[in-house]
Amino acid sequence: MTDTLVDWSLGGHIAIAVAALSFYKFILVEISKDIIKNAKIISKKIEEHIFAELSITLKPLLEEEQGKAIIITGQWSDGLEGYKETPADLQGSERYKNALYDFINSDANSMADFRNLTLFTDKCLFWKRYLKYSAYILVGFNFIAAMFEVYCRIYNVCSNNKTVIMGLLLFSFILIANCFCSLWPLNLYQDKVEHYEGKYA
């Protein structure tokens, strides 16, 4: 009976290791690429939206100040007072500051979206890394467990001890549950990132 349990457990560990490797190679790697690609596309769209709104806000001021100059008196030279003309300092004007203040108030949502997109992308990548290392641990543990059970089968070490075999299987299921649990926050934050894709499409 114990030999049969070892055989079933051995097959289970090998199947879990192969499934975890396949999941990492064919699914998790693609998820990572999609997260980075989507985040770059969406952040570019938000940046373009913010800069377009800023351009609309500042364009009248720039057109009005264009061509204006102020005279700055220099030092005396050969009995003549030197001077030069420079463009007016638009950035130091009160109107410029008020225009920026109005822009920030009117377009605060877009800037908040950009910040949130960065945060959600970072969280997606964190949970992707967590899932990656969880898959590594799952594969490594099941490989070691399979080698141990091959040893047990050959030398009949655990013929009267089911606890070790059941314990290895139980720990494998705990590691699998850990992988599935980390998929939930990964999908949650990925959905939040994709929400902005629809908003700025």
For the chain, what percent of residues have pLDDT higher than 70? 79
DSSP string covering 47-105, please? HHHHHHHHHHHHHHHHHHHTT-EEEEEEEEETTEEEEEEEE--GGGSHHHHHHHHHHHH
Predicted model pTM: 0.69
Question: What is the greatest pairwise CA distance in the chain?
Answer: 115
127: in domain: yes
For the chain, what percent of residues have pLDDT higher than 90? 6
54: in domain: yes
Residue type at 89?
D
| Secondary structure E strands in the chain | 69-77, 80-87
136: in domain: yes
Q: Report d(CA 13, CA 142) in Å as an integer.
A: 5
117: in domain: yes
95: in domain: yes
When divided into structural domains, the chain yields a total of 1
Q: What is the predicted pLDDT for the residue at 198?
A: 78
**Least confident range of 67-81, 158-172, 183-197:** 67-81
When pLDDT is cut at 50, 70 and 90, the band that residue 171 belongs to is: very high
Q: What is the pLDDT of residues 82-137, one digit of tens each?
A: 555 555 556 666 777 777 777 777 777 888 888 888 898 889 889 888 988 988 89
The H helix count followed by the E strand count for the chain is 5, 2
Domain of residue 119: give its range: 2-63+81-199
73: in domain: no
Residue 179 CB neighbours (<10 A): 18
74: in domain: no
Q: What is the pLDDT of residues 26-38, one digit of tens each?
A: 777 777 777 878 8
23: in domain: yes
Q: Are 10 and 154 in contact (CB under 8 A)?
A: no
Owner of token pair 């070892």: 6
For 51, the token pair is 């800069």
